[in-house]
Amino acid sequence: MGIQDKFEEILKTQKEVLKKVAELVGESFEELKKKALEEKKSVEELIEEIVEEVIKTEKEEKKMGMPLLGDKFPHIEVQTTHGPMTLPEDLKGKWTVLFSHPADFTPVCTTEFVSFQKHKKEFDELNTQLIGLSIDQVFSHIKWVEWIKEKLDVEIEFPIISATDTLAMELGMVHPKKGTNTVRAVFIIDPEGVVRTILYYPQEIGRNIPEILRAVKALQVSDAEGVATPANWPENELIGDKVIIPPATDCETAKKRVKEYTCFDWWFCYKEL
């Protein structure tokens, strides 16, 4: 296949890739030929390598689209039952619990929304905004909220996002083997827009809302005090509601640590909050 045919083939199948190839190469065809000669390759081989590298990079970028712990939550503009929102910008200065649900008008999701609303005052006291999300349209969200108010006498006061399939995929909220609906995902996002906790539940298991509330409290305590919280905090079987001091990282600090705090050993010390 000649070079012209190669370019035409790429143009037909990989238009966006070709654009990136052109940007990546950033040199004239004559310079490309010179580079191929220096590397003892044909121009076709060099172009194929560049195309493969660009495609590989694109795939890796798509895989990395889902935010991970410590990542900034991606910028998204969405429509909600409370009007348009821009995340995480609109929530700067507040903690956020963003949770997705498989579908409106489903029993498990209904129990979750009622429970989130019942605990909303506690989240408010922690400066934490609740936001729901599914790929149902806004009018479906509105009608479902009305149904919950009419039938269950609970008024849902937090916004619900109407997400596109693409957005849900990018956030890792759609798992192919679990159908086309969003899974029960939870993102806890701090006031700077950083993802601090991610939880996933299958469609058949409802979430434990007090545990999500506990996680927000624990994160806030950890940030404020520079400590860690034990299992089941604040009702841990070993140290109750006390908090754990980060382990010493040098011998001198290790010796001091047991004199400064209550310890099982120098690497396991704790204190009153």
What's the mean per-residue pLDDT of the chain? 84
End of a domain among 63, 90, 107? 63
Residue 61: which pLDDT band, with cuts at 50, 70 and 90? Answer: very low
Evaluate whether residue 215 is within a structural domain: no
Q: What's the rounded Cα separation, in Å, for the pair 154 and 145?
A: 9
Evaluate whether residue 242 is within a structural domain: yes
Q: How many other C-beta atoms are found inside a 10 Å radius of the C-beta of residue 252? A: 8
Q: Looking at this protein, which amino acid is placed at residue 229?
A: T
Evaluate whether residue 219 is within a structural domain: no
Evaluate whether residue 59 is within a structural domain: yes
Catalytic positions are 109
Q: What is the pLDDT of residue 229?
A: 97
Evaluate whether residue 266 is within a structural domain: yes
pLDDT tens, position by position, 183-236:
788 999 999 999 999 999 888 899 999 999 999 999 999 999 999 999 999 999
Residues 47 and 150 in one domain: no
Residues 159 and 241 in one domain: no
Residue 142's Cβ-count burial label (10 Å; 0-12, 13-18, 19+) is middle
Q: What is the pTM of this model?
A: 0.74
Residues 159 and 112 in one domain: yes
Closest CA to 248 of 267, 271, 228: 267
Residues 198 and 87 in one domain: yes
Evaluate whether residue 247 is within a structural domain: yes
Residues 114 and 201 in one domain: yes
Which residues make Cβ contacts (< 8 Å) with residue 138, sequence separation at least 6?
79, 80, 81, 162
Q: Looking at this protein, which amino acid is placed at residue 207?
A: R
Residues 81 and 195 in one domain: yes
**Containing domain of residue 249, as a range?**
226-271
pLDDT tens, position by position, 133-165:
988 899 999 999 999 999 999 999 999 999 877
Evaluate whether residue 221 is within a structural domain: no
Residue 64: which pLDDT band, with cuts at 50, 70 and 90? Answer: very low
Q: What is the pLDDT of residue 70?
A: 92
If you count them, how many residues does the chain have?
Answer: 273
Q: What is the pLDDT of residue 36?
A: 73
How many domains is the chain built from?
Answer: 3
Q: What is the pLDDT of residue 56?
A: 61
Residues 203 and 113 in one domain: yes
